Amino acid sequence: MNRQPVTDPARPQRPRRRRHFYRKLFVFLLLIVLTFALVRFGPNLYRRFFGDGNTTWISQRFSEEVTRQNRLVVYKATLTGQETVTQSAWLLGTVQSVTLPYTYELSFAVDMEAASVSVDTASDTIRVRLPSPVAAYPTFTVDQDHVQKNDWLFPLTPERYAEIVDTIEKKLYAECATKPEYLAAAWNATVDNIQGLFRNVASASKDGVTCTVQVIQDDSLAAAATPPTESPAKDTAAPTATP
């Protein structure tokens, strides 16, 4: 007669419990790996399978308007630098870092349409009244070949990149457009240009014209030239001149 081994129900089954524990640990680690893989590669895979289909461009132009611009560019500031934007997450720390080298150019122009010229024959003086130079024609260029990004955990989307570029450009414009040093240099360049122009005309005259050219800064001219429907803010940072 064969005897069956007697197992004590109160005795713990250690091998089975260990295997069960290791199985749970393996599943947990596998889920973590899958989660990171989905976060890192999920958007790219989605765009690869669903976003790279046939693209159709439909261009429609509703109007084209060409207007005359009587503006004299007298000064241009060129800045080079780089901006680093980081994104952090709880427990993970920095999950995205982007460094953008850039070149920013901003010109300052005078509205010659609003210029006023008068002649004082008693003092042999030509008085030219001009509005203050204002910021115009901003250009922001990113050096794409040297952009650095670390976005393994949080991929940088085109929308986020465009938002970063737009924020940097607006910040640089706000910083440069009202900078007192730039405004003063732009006005000095305006005076030199206008005086040099009249000086050249006088020297080319066969009558031997000699006169004094006085350039006066008058911001009321810009306000008068603006249509009533618009209400531009007056630039209080511009240097003032005494007639």
108, 86, 85: which is closest to 190 by C-alpha? Answer: 108
Domain boundaries, the chain: 16-45, 71-225
In this prediction, residue 167 carries a pLDDT of 95
Q: How many CB atoms lie within 10 A of CB 230?
A: 7
pTM over 0.75, yes/no: no
pLDDT tens-digit map of 79-89: 999 999 998 87
3-state SS assignment for residue 198: helix
Q: Is the dihedral of CA 121, 202, 214, 235 positive or negative?
A: positive
pLDDT tens-digit map of 21-74: 777 788 888 888 887 777 767 766 666 665 555 566 788 888 888 887 788 999
pLDDT tens-digit map of 127-171: 999 999 999 999 999 999 999 998 877 788 889 999 999 999 999
Locate all alpha helices (DSSP H) within the chain, ordered by sequence: 14-50, 158-177, 180-204, 220-225
Residue with tokens 């511009």: 238
